[in-house]
Amino acid sequence: MATVDKILYGFIAGEVAPDFYGRTDIGKYDFGMADCTNFFVDYCGGIKSRSGFEFCAPTQAAAGAIAYHVFRATFDDYILEFTANKMRVVRNGAYVVEAAKTVVAVSDGNEVEATAHGFVAGNLLYCSGPGVLAGRYLEIYDVATNTFRVREPGLGAESAEQGDIAGGGATVARVYTRYTPYAAAEVSRLCVEQRYEQCIITHANHPPQKL
What's the pLDDT tens digit per position in 161-171? 445 554 556 88
pTM over 0.75: no
Q: Are strands 147-151 and 137-141 parallel, antiparallel or unpaired?
A: antiparallel
Q: How crowded is the C-beta side of 210, counted as CA atoms within 13 Å?
A: 4
Rounded-to-integer distance, Cα 155 and Cα 7, Å = 52
193 compared with 9, residue with greater pLDDT: 193
CA 21 to chain centre: 38
What's the pLDDT tens digit per position in 124-154? 999 887 665 678 888 888 888 998 988 888 6
The length of the chain in residues reads 211
Q: What is the pLDDT of residue 205?
A: 92
CA 128 to chain centre: 20
